[in-house]
Chain A
Amino acid sequence: MEDLNVVIAGAAGQGVQTIGDILAQTAAAQGYAVFSWKEYESRIRGGHNRYSIRISETPRNAPLMEADVLLALNEGAIQKYGPLLKKGGTLLAEKKGKDRRMIPIPFTEIAEETVGKRIYANTVALGALVAVLGIAQESLNTVLTKIFAHKGEDIVKSNHLAAEKGFLKAVQDCEGMCPWELPKRPGKYFLMTVNEAIPLASVYSGCRFIAAYPMSPSTGVITYLATHQEEFGVFAEQAEDEIAAVNMAIGASYAGVRAMTATSGGGFALMVEGVSLAGMTETPLVIVLAQRPGPATGLPTRTSQGDLLFAVNAGHGEFPKMVLAPSDPLDAFMKTVRAFNLADKYQMPVILMTDQFLSDSHFSIEEFDLGRIGPVFHTADPSHIKDYKRYQLTEDGISPRLYPGCSNHLVGVDSDEHDERGHITEDLAGMAVAMAEKRLIKMNRLKGEISMPEEISIDESDIIFVGWGSSRQAILEAIRFLNRDGVNAGMIHFTEVWPLPEYAFPSGKNYWTVENNSTGQLARLLRFEYRLDFRGTLSRYDGLPLTGDYIRRQLNAQNGSL
């Protein structure tokens, strides 16, 4: 079994998510590497939603569009996603259609007959799907028990019954149409989304406060922390707006704890004055910016990398700031810890950029080793300080940071240009310049902290894909596909995008920027910072994630036309 892609599609409210989650867990429990991503409309009921599950023996954490198996929960899903079905693929749907290689399972009818409730139609469909994929029914039952145990024995039994009926019906009809077998194997993987990895890492980093306003696709971050409030001891507040959210977090940070907020483009636009405030007051702050396509409300539930230059330039005035763009949940975990540590060290805002694709996709992770990563605190020891000045001018631009209540020292901070004690100043030549230079020294020192981009197959390749953040796995897959075609290609990939490191791009290569936006924002940034020339832009801006196949096709099309 090399690589199997299952697509579940239907209207919002039909249970696409539940079926997808349970199937993903069942396949993972069988010992397979699972990657899943979701595409959904901004509505509670109706429309077309898709949940794609890629199952393989080693992690393949990139989306595929073509489906081996399509479970369509309504007629619309067949029409929209039917064309994605591969030759030799199988369609599972309620009613028999014409000219189709399909297995008709009357999910609803079976549910009503066996359990007496339509609501079990999903479980019937799950049972059928598991049969088609060649997974033992007991494996599904184990997961169902785990998930529904808290609802009582009767509910568990009804689910088992519904699953069994769907399973048996599918086995009957599978003849010659279901070549797949997914027997138990010894693989073990961590299945996690970025919207889980970031809150977990925040907890590990010692974050105690999050305030946010709900906005897709960032909402999962505060939801996770609020749901586990008692276990993690993180105070989570739903703010009245994003402006309140960022200012609350800044207040909490000033008062001595690690604090964060999370939002998406439009909400981040409202927070931008707060980013500048954190820069000026030198208050550590972590902001998760989960991108979705804009402008304005854009496509609220789809994915994009359209806010790179916005984030890099966010905040009026000049101040140190860091922008990180993790590529997967493990990377997001490590970068979140790094974000908190560096925000603390340099007393500045750090923006963690994700997107809907990263937020909602489950990645399979082989090793989740915390290694030497952990929180490193930088607040000063008040017992060593006699006369405290919050903005004391120092050689490295970093002043000892105390917080109110940690000692008898007074902590004064100001959004105005200020003197060393935080009081308003109009002393231009003396204090204003000294404070501007203090922030400048920090900016320059920060550059030395930035990691170099990741290089893959650079020496042997003429074609080099340049990307950032969430596109990493898709680019790696494009390279694999091209290798199969007999073409060498390499990758230079950034996950720390601001400030940019002192890095020398190898000369004499054909650089192609690969981005989930229409204007090639990374390329614009790199042209400016490194005077780098690009051969072309491979961009996707339809709200869907980049895939290996998409990148390969774009490259071939553009190479052909040049």
Chain B
Amino acid sequence: MPKMEAYENEVEIQWCPGCPNFGILQAFKMALTQLHKASHEVCFVSGIGQAAKLPHYLKCNFFNGLHGRAIPVALGIHVVNPEITTIVVTGDGDCYGEGGNHFLHALRRNPDITVVVHNNEIYALTKGQASPTTPTGEKGTLQTGGVEITPLNMPAIAILHGCTFVARGFAGDVEHLKKILVRAVKHRGLSYVDVVQPCITWGTHPLSWYKEKIIKLGGDYNPSDRRAALEKVLERGNTIPIGVLFEGLSDHIFAGAFREKISKDPLTEIKPPEKAKMNRIISGFAFGGE
């Protein structure tokens, strides 16, 4: 069994001291340890933003790509090698703004990957502009009169569009988040975890404000009830429910038909055709000579 230290590396962390992102990083290390994943069996994929720097701070494979584009890169990796545990770490700007379209279509494709969104309801790295999840009325450095447009409720959209694992975690409760991440990685199909990650620099509310509102979904909550899950994420109360909101069975997995019919192995194992086979294929284009 791997020890948690196996994921430690010596890269200097660029986050603000005390940022709840540290809690998410810790939860990942704990979850991977519990899942018995060796570093080389895991690939983190990210885009741009503070969340997207996370893959640099633990020892695994990583692809830190373009703003908003982590999901398509992860899809490419997943298709080629499903044996790799592919985890997208992204933020609300990265995933819901710049990359929103990719998220929507990931719901349709249902790849067997995990998408973890550090949702701090703000653009922090670019210094305090509103994000797609900033509540209406809150001020941003560009929204000086307060946000006028509606925040996106991506968990609701995900449940509505058949995502088979939708959860919300809290960066301030590492142990609870770890449990969600373990379940998310184990789940077959797209696992989507929205993590409440208060921004201590640009956020409107202190961490304690969030802690008061956070409520863990209890034993009386049934995460296999899709309708109830949708109602739960549409609630406009004074509380923020965390835990697994919905978990169901996947009836298809991205690239499943290809694997079924053509190759169960990673695509890296398929060799190119021999010259003789190629010549046979090309001869099908020949005419005349009779």
Contact = CB atoms under 8 A, between A and B. Distances in A.
A370 interface: yes
Pairs of residues from A and B, 10 with the lowest C-beta to C-beta distance, nearest first: A251-B76, A188-B289, A28-B287, A206-B272, A251-B73, A252-B76, A247-B72, A255-B80, A31-B288, A404-B61
A274 interface: yes
Contacts of B105: 240, 244
23 contacts: A29-B288, A190-B282, A204-B272, A204-B278, A208-B268, A233-B262, A239-B72, A243-B72, A244-B102, A247-B65, A248-B73, A248-B76, A250-B73, A250-B76, A251-B76, A252-B80, A255-B77, A255-B84, A256-B268, A274-B69, A281-B65, A368-B282, A410-B39
Contacts of A158: none
Contacts of A368: 282, 285
Contacts of B285: 190-192, 196, 368
A61 interface: no
Interface string A391-433: 0000000000001111111111111100000111000000000
B184 interface: no
B271 interface: yes
A229 interface: yes
A317 interface: no
Given A247-B76, A252-B79, 7 more contacts: A31-B289, A34-B287, A203-B272, A211-B72, A244-B72, A255-B84, A413-B64
B77 A254 contact: yes
A241 interface: yes
Contact of B75 (A185, A248, A409): A248
A189 interface: yes
A32 B290 CA distance: 11
Contacts of B288: 28-32, 185-189
Interface in A209-249: 209, 211, 229-230, 232-233, 235, 237, 239-241, 243-245, 247-249
A131 B272 CA distance: 45
Nearest to A203: B273
Interface in B245-290: 255, 258, 261-263, 266-268, 270-273, 275, 278-279, 281-282, 285-290
A239 B102 CA distance: 9
Given A191-B285, A240-B101, A408 B40 contact: yes
B66 A415 contact: yes
A254 B267 contact: no
A251 B66 contact: no
Contacts of A196: 285
A250 B272 contact: no
Contact of B270 (A34, A233, A240): A233
Contacts of A370: 275, 278-279, 282
B25 interface: no
Interface stretch (B52-60, B159-167, B171-179, B225-233): B52-60
A187 B79 CA distance: 45
Contacts of B138: none
A232 B73 CA distance: 23
A233 B267 CA distance: 9
A250 B275 contact: no
A414 B84 CA distance: 19
Contacts of A255: 43, 76-77, 80-81, 84, 268
Interface in B19-54: 38-41, 43, 45, 48, 53
B289 A211 contact: no
B81 to A, nearest CB: 5
A25 interface: yes
Nearest to A403: B268
Counting chain A CB atoms within 10 Å of each CB, which of B38, B271, B272, B281 scores highest? Answer: B272
B8 interface: no
A423 B80 CA distance: 24
Contacts of B72: 211, 239, 243-245, 247-248, 251
A230 B259 CA distance: 11
B83 A405 contact: yes
A90 interface: no
A241 B101 contact: yes
B208 interface: no
Interface of B: 11, 14, 38-41, 43, 45, 48, 53, 55-56, 59-66, 69, 71-77, 79-81, 83-84, 101-102, 104-105, 255, 258, 261-263, 266-268, 270-273, 275, 278-279, 281-282, 285-290
A251 B14 contact: no
Main secondary structure of the interface of A (DSSP, over half): mixed
Contacts of B61: 404, 410-412
A253 interface: yes
A284 B11 CA distance: 27
Contacts of A29: 287-288, 290
B236 to A, nearest CB: 31
Nearest to A273: B66
Interface of A: 25, 28-32, 34, 184-192, 196, 200, 203-206, 208-209, 211, 229-230, 232-233, 235, 237, 239-241, 243-245, 247-257, 259, 273-274, 277, 281, 368, 370, 374-375, 403-416, 422-424
A151 B267 CA distance: 35
B268 A257 contact: yes
B56 to A, nearest CB: 5
Counting chain B CB atoms within 10 Å of each CB, which of A233, A241, A255, A370 scores highest? Answer: A255
A186 B287 CA distance: 10
A237 B53 CA distance: 29
Contacts of A254: 63, 73, 76-77
B66 A277 contact: yes
Contacts of B11: 423
B268 A406 contact: yes
Given A28-B288, A257-B268, A414-B64, A204 B79 contact: no
B105 to A, nearest CB: 4
A260 to B, nearest CB: 11
Given A187-B288, A248-B75, A404-B43, A274 B272 contact: no
Counting chain B CB atoms within 10 Å of each CB, which of A240, A249, A375, A404 scores highest? Answer: A404
B262 to A, nearest CB: 5
Given A254-B77, A375-B272, A247 B66 contact: yes
A422 B64 CA distance: 9
A252 B270 CA distance: 14
Contacts of B38: 408
Contact of B267 (A208, A247, A423): A208
A413 B62 contact: yes
A270 B1 CA distance: 45
A344 to B, nearest CB: 12
A449 to B, nearest CB: 21
Contact of B84 (A203, A243, A277, A404): A404
Contact of A206 (B59, B104, B271): B271
A510 B212 CA distance: 82
A423 B58 CA distance: 11
A22 to B, nearest CB: 12
A209 B69 contact: no
B76 A281 contact: no
A2 to B, nearest CB: 18
A281 B63 contact: yes
Contacts of B266: 256, 405
